[in-house]
Structure 1
Amino acid sequence: MVLNSKSVSHSQTWTFFEGRWHEGNVPIMGPRTHGLWLGSTVFDGARAFEGVAPDLDRHCVRVNQSAVYFGLKPIVDLDTWLGLAREGIARFPANAELYIRPMYWPQNGVGGGVLFDPETTDWCLCIYEAPIPKPVGSAITLSPFRRPTAECAPVGAKAACLYPNNSRALIEAASRGFQNCLMLDMLGNVAEFGNSNVFMAKDGVVYTPVPNGTFLNGITRQRVIGLLRGEGVCVIEATLRYADFVAADEIFSTGNFAKVTPVIRIDERQLAPGPFYARARRLYWEFAHDVRLAA
């Protein structure tokens, strides 16, 4: 029996796989591939602005670190990742807003299939058009779902198997009319948003959850902390509860896909995009512009 399949359109995409560039949404994992079947994929993501990708090197280093943490073999060195990224970026218009995604996965499993064979590690580099979302602001709430600990998930890697839990958190929040949600760790402390890191400000001080092994210390998060501190802003990494965010003067997110975006409502309380959000976004865009000028 042949089932009807729904056609999905994708933005302009180029993927380097098995020694050459492929255009379009090229299938690179069959149903027997361990990465597709059991989600044993690690990846990273970088942004490109006008042909230059700020912090691309740090994202490529992190995907290799994720591979090691996960038990895969990081078989692509940094110079190769960067060289291929430059090749791929050049295939798009100069002003294209791009997402750059290096990936590793195992092809085969052993011992019944669940245990993957690191000797079969494969990889690709996918680059596609992805406009940066406008910073219109989001309404947030508290998710009933929590971030795992290292004892029950590979939280030290940017691993695909972690994201279904975040997805169900976002789906549950959307069912209640919210665009995002704060997720707690197993001790009840705020960890992050469903898809990005979180910051808040109170009484002239910026706070963000201290990395405690339940969420990734994001590259854009680190960059924004450094930029704010470089301008004399007091940024404290602390253990924070949901009540701290309910009482915050402002809340904003950092992440590689949307960069720096404001929160305009938490539960039923309205918030305005605040001065620390505005400064963080301005500083990040100035940093990215400086990178472009230096390239």
Structure 2
Amino acid sequence: MATGTNIRTYYNGTWHRGDIPVMCAADHGAWLGTTVFDGARYFEGIAPDLQAHCDRINRSAEALMITPTTDGADMADIVREGLKTYPADAAVYIRPMYWALEGDSLGVAPKPGATGFAICLEEIPMAAPGSATTMTTTRFRRPTLDCAVVNAKAGCLYPNNARMLAEARAKGFGNALVADALGNVAETATANVFIVKDGEFFTPIANGTFLAGLTRKRHISNLTAAG
């Protein structure tokens, strides 16, 4: 099910209109979860940190032993080509994706060089200024690198986030504040987190249990520049 509207899909070297099929039932990614993605944004005619997002998905692929097939700069150029089909005032979610096509002799580890690649563009509105939610805690924790691929933006990590969010909503809240294995605040169920207290901004230290986001990095840079 698509989240947004006005979808464009890049697959097999060309842009297609709509949400086209890209994965087969026997693909390694379909049955063993070897999928990675990234999420950039286009709004007000700009796509901040697009190159960084394209570079990061290649690192995510390598963390899952998937062979990247598209250079980050080339990927960004493909995205810009696709964005030309949207109105200048459109808000577009940019999602490049890799998945493993085949496994090794035992079927479990991905086979090097056997990679599926697609980019999905969807019109999804930006959050309204001043929009808010409510927060609670959750019994579910962020995993550590010795038991999950927390150094990647991997699809296989998101069922854990989903149950965090479901637990929060069952308690009447909009989102969950999530801890790591030691009980330190890590992030929310859907995003990195900041708090503001007495004019100071705080965010959890990136300790390897959660993905320290590119937007988080941009906020830190902007706040530092602002003193």
* TM-score (ref. length: structure 1): 0.74
Query: Match for residue 123 of structure 1?
Result: 117
What is residue 43 of structure 1 aligned with on the other side?
37
Q: Supply the RMSD in Å over aligned alpha carbons.
A: 1.5
How big is the shift at 1:153? 0.3
Q: Which residue identity lines up with residue 136 of structure 1 in the other structure?
A: S
Secondary structure of the 2:196 match is strand
For the residues of structure 2 that align with 1:8 and 1:136, how far apart are their CA atoms? 23
Deviation (angstroms), 1:75: 1.4
Are the aligned partners of 2:54 and 2:73 in contact in 1 as well (CA < 8 Å)? Answer: no
Q: Does 1:189 align with 2:166?
A: no
Q: Which runs of structure 2 are paired with 1:70-219 in the superposition (5 Å)?
A: 70-134=64-128, 135-219=130-214
1:226 is the counterpart of 2:224: no
Q: Is the 8 A contact 1:51 1:89 kept in 2?
A: no
Q: Is the 8 A contact 1:109 1:116 kept in 2?
A: yes
The alignment partner of 2:116 has SS state of strand
User: Is contact 1:13-1:23 (8 Å) kept?
Assistant: yes
SS at match of 1:153: coil
Would you say the 8 A contact 1:169–1:181 is kept in 2?
yes
Q: What's the CA shift for 1:9?
A: 8.3
Residues 158-217 of structure 1 show CA distances to partners (whole Å, capped at 9, x for unaligned) of 111111100110011101111100111000111000010111122332111000000011
Alignment of 1:55-74 (within 5 A): 55-74=49-68
* Counterpart selection for 1:26 from 6, 16, 20: 20
> What is the one-letter code of the residue matched to 2:83?
I
Distance 2:41 2:2 in 1: 23
Asked if the contact 2:40/2:50 (under 8 Å) is kept, the reply is: yes
The DSSP-based 3-state class of the residue aligned with 1:192 is strand
Q: Partners in 2 of 1:79 and 1:203 — Cα distance?
A: 41
Structure index of larger Rg: 1
Paired with 1:109 and 1:78, the residues of 2 have a C-alpha distance of 25
SS in 1 for 2:177: strand
Q: Which runs of 4+ in 1 moved over 4 A?
A: 7-10
Q: More relative contact order in 1 or in 2 (CA 8 Å, sep 6+)?
A: 2
Q: How many residues align?
A: 226
User: Which amino acid in 2 is paired with 1:196?
Assistant: A
Output the TM-score relative to the length of structure 2: 0.95
In structure 2, what residue type is equivalent to 1:111? S
What SS does structure 2 have at the residue aligned with 1:149? coil
Question: Structure 1 residues 195, 8: closer, same or farther in 2, change over 3 A?
Answer: closer
How many angstroms apart in 1 are the aligned matches of 2:4 and 2:96? Answer: 18
Offset, 1:93: 1.4
Gaps of 5+ in 1: 1-6, 233-295
Query: 5+ unaligned residues in a row in structure 2: which ranges?
Result: none
Deviation, structure 1 residue 110: 2.7
State the 1:78 CA deviation: 2.1
Distance 1:163 1:8, change over 3 A: closer
| 1:209 counterpart letter in structure 2 | P
Aligned sequence identity (%) = 48
Secondary structure in structure 2 of the residue aligned to 1:86: helix
Q: Hey, which of these two has a bigger chunk of strand by percent? A: 1
1:12 corresponds in structure 2 to 6
Structure 2 letter corresponding to 1:63: I
Determine helix, strand or coil for the equivalent of 1:14.
strand
- Asked whether the 8 Å contact 1:10–1:25 carries over to 2, the reply is no
Q: Distance in 1 between matches of 2:199 and 2:114?
A: 52
